[in-house]
Chains A and B, each alone.
Chain A
């Protein structure tokens, strides 16, 4: 009896162990901004979908290089890849999740969400045109908020980053001056201010320097209790950063018209839209060498769309609208082909 029970236990353990060992492994590399949600999804998907994700947050540019060289199963980048590069690299691009950015400030006595700013003011601050916190234009917007006479110290990401790409895209969208003088990219020629490395570097610098202003992902600002600001959206309303305003912006994006899903969620229409929202993207080879691994990647993101939404919102990322998820699934079916021409995603 005892022997049987023990052997049964061993057999059960063996089956469970084999099940865990059989989890299909996939590798991805790239963007740092969605890395927290990818790793949370990876953790949950191990048990729920039998997929083990090994994701390396090495930066969008490096991730693009890796997937073009096919050294990973998928690449991830914050800025959408150029259409001609996707074409020549035989890559399918689709969005994974969305996030938002906020401005953070260090003004003693000012609470999170209290200060009101507009895109034009942010652009002028980062251009070095507005240099004092008691500038007439700032005071006019913020009656009732005690603004000091101190200098404004703009802080930016010194390392190339998708965060900077989105931030400068926003400044370019709202300020013709910014667009003409600086433009948008993963790193730009900043006319004023100081640089810091990474989200944590920007946050730490803003926290240390009185009168500083910086920009980080909202998830980062919320988790670290940073003083974020309101922003005025395209409809002229001042909005607070929240999952609600982010989702509103995502819903107002023109997904159908966007090629390669490279939709712009910057400064979208709508009363409730938060103006700085962006999607982060996955690049997947259309001609996978190993169809099984490619199928596993799609299985993983299929699971993440279906069952990973609560994990994403828990980390203050915004899940994709259902219609977009369905469009991505049909793209998988239509465009990713095994060597024999059969669709990999079923």
Chain B
């Protein structure tokens, strides 16, 4: 009320306000009538863009399924569970590459999420403002490195390192320990599922860390200050205030990383060993869906069962990604409820 009085020193203000309000409406109406065609066009363009995504996605799924149909017809649902990839006998199955895809992606997440969380925690709560920017930029740059570079780095640096220094010692260390001696077994060639997971972890860390950092920053300062005010430590603030507030977005960031790990092709091809066998241990070689498709595509003739099986693999990758997305949505819903 005091403010209203302040704005009306001579009593002419209400009139002026109403006048300007009416002229405002008039000009708005004028603009609307003048630009109604433009508005419609813009609305149409925006709607088309939105619908286009759906249409494209649908078209890709449908064309993949049509291409994959001969393989599904020939092998039935057993295609998913058959651990055979034999171009000579024309017997194809997805089990090896599905197994490799899931094992490498999940292992990569197990390695990447704690590290990414540490990075984000450090950057938002602990790091002095001076180093926040350089580290933040470095993480964004990591995300921009092309995957072929990760592949070559993995092949020429990580693989020999794993073969000479990591795998022999790990195999020795776990020798005789039940379960673990089977998980960390196999000839120490440096390549294999674990090396692939390691490279994937490095590749997805920037995505997850950047998302976590950004969402941690959205927590209103007053919440954190209140927590500090009642005597919480930095970790307690993170655990009880920041993390619950941002849980949904953090899960979203992790899923983004998982999505990249599932579909990664080049970097994995270099280091996974590319064998179509399930070795049952982490140091053994394997294959992923994306890698197998990339390797075999060039020598698959049009109309062959092999090409159809590769398209079927693509379709299965689509389904896996969809399931991952659905699970993340489900988790988020439970969190909210």
> Residues of A with Cβ closer than 8 Å to B?
58-62, 64-65, 68-69, 151, 153, 158-161, 182-190, 193-197, 201, 204-205, 208-209
The minimal Cβ–Cβ distance linking B171 to chain A, given in whole angstroms, is: 13
Is the CB–CB distance between A61 and B300 below 8 Å? Answer: yes
With A61-B301, A62-B299, A189-B85 known, 5 other A-B pairs at CB within 8 A are: A160-B298, A188-B87, A189-B86, A193-B275, A201-B270
Is the CB–CB distance between B299 and A188 below 8 Å? Answer: no
Is the CB–CB distance between A159 and B86 below 8 Å? Answer: no
Q: Which residues of B contact A190 (CB under 8 A)?
A: 275-276
Is the CB–CB distance between A160 and B296 below 8 Å? Answer: yes
Is the CB–CB distance between B190 and A209 below 8 Å? Answer: yes
- What 1/0 mask marks residues of chain B from 293 to 307 whose CB sits below 8 Å from any chain A CB? 001101111100000
Is the CB–CB distance between A197 and B274 below 8 Å? Answer: yes
8 A Cβ contacts from B174-220 to A? 187, 189-191
A-B contact pairs, 5 of them (CB 8 A): A68-B302, A184-B88, A187-B295, A205-B191, A209-B189
A189 in contact with B299 given A151-B187, A194-B275, A208-B160 (CB within 8 Å): no
Is the CB–CB distance between B88 and A159 below 8 Å? Answer: no
Is the CB–CB distance between B299 and A194 below 8 Å? Answer: no
In the complex, A69→B298 CA distance in Å? 16
In the complex, A207→B331 CA distance in Å? 47
In the complex, A76→B228 CA distance in Å? 72
Q: Contact size class for B?
A: 20 to 34
Cβ of B97 < 8 Å from any Cβ of A? no
Is the CB–CB distance between A65 and B84 below 8 Å? Answer: no
Q: Which residues of A contact B270 (CB under 8 A)?
A: 197, 201
In the complex, A158→B155 CA distance in Å? 15
Q: Which residues of B contact A204 (CB under 8 A)?
A: 155-156
Is the CB–CB distance between A209 and B163 below 8 Å? Answer: yes
Is the CB–CB distance between A160 and B87 below 8 Å? Answer: yes
Cβ of B105 < 8 Å from any Cβ of A? no
Is the CB–CB distance between B274 and A196 below 8 Å? Answer: yes
Q: Pick from A151, A183, A205 the residue with the most CB of B within 10 Å.
A: A205
The minimal Cβ–Cβ distance linking A149 to chain B, given in whole angstroms, is: 14
A186 in contact with B285 given A159-B295, A159-B296 (CB within 8 Å): no
Cβ of B309 < 8 Å from any Cβ of A? no
Q: Which residues of A contact B296 (CB under 8 A)?
A: 159-160, 187
Q: Which residue of B lies closest to A172 (CB)?
A: B88
Q: Which residues of A contact B101 (CB under 8 A)?
A: none
Cβ of B89 < 8 Å from any Cβ of A? yes
Q: Pick from B84, B85, B86, B88 the residue with the most CB of A within 10 Å.
A: B88
8 A Cβ contacts from B146-181 to A? 155-156, 159-160, 163
In the complex, A74→B121 CA distance in Å? 60
Q: Which residue of A lies closest to B273 (CB)?
A: A194
Is the CB–CB distance between B295 and A160 below 8 Å? Answer: yes
Is the CB–CB distance between A158 and B87 below 8 Å? Answer: no
8 A Cβ contacts from B259-278 to A? 269-270, 273-276
In the complex, A341→B89 CA distance in Å? 42
Which of B160, B299, B302 is close to A159, meaning CB atoms less than 8 Å apart?
B299
- What 1/0 mask marks residues of chain B from 80 to 124 whose CB sits below 8 Å from any chain A CB? 000011111100000000000000000000000000000000000
Is the CB–CB distance between B301 and A64 below 8 Å? Answer: yes
Is the CB–CB distance between A159 and B298 below 8 Å? Answer: yes
Is the CB–CB distance between B88 and A189 below 8 Å? Answer: yes
Is the CB–CB distance between A197 and B295 below 8 Å? Answer: yes
Q: Pick from B155, B299, B300 the residue with the most CB of A within 10 Å.
A: B299
In the complex, A151→B295 CA distance in Å? 27
Q: Pick from A58, A186, A201 the residue with the most CB of B within 10 Å.
A: A186
Q: Which residues of B contact A188 (CB under 8 A)?
A: 86-88
Is the CB–CB distance between B269 and A158 below 8 Å? Answer: yes
In the complex, A61→B84 CA distance in Å? 22
Q: Which residues of A contact B190 (CB under 8 A)?
A: 208-209
Is the CB–CB distance between B298 and A208 below 8 Å? Answer: no
Q: Which residues of B contact A161 (CB under 8 A)?
A: 299
Q: Pick from A58, A151, A194 the residue with the most CB of B within 10 Å.
A: A194
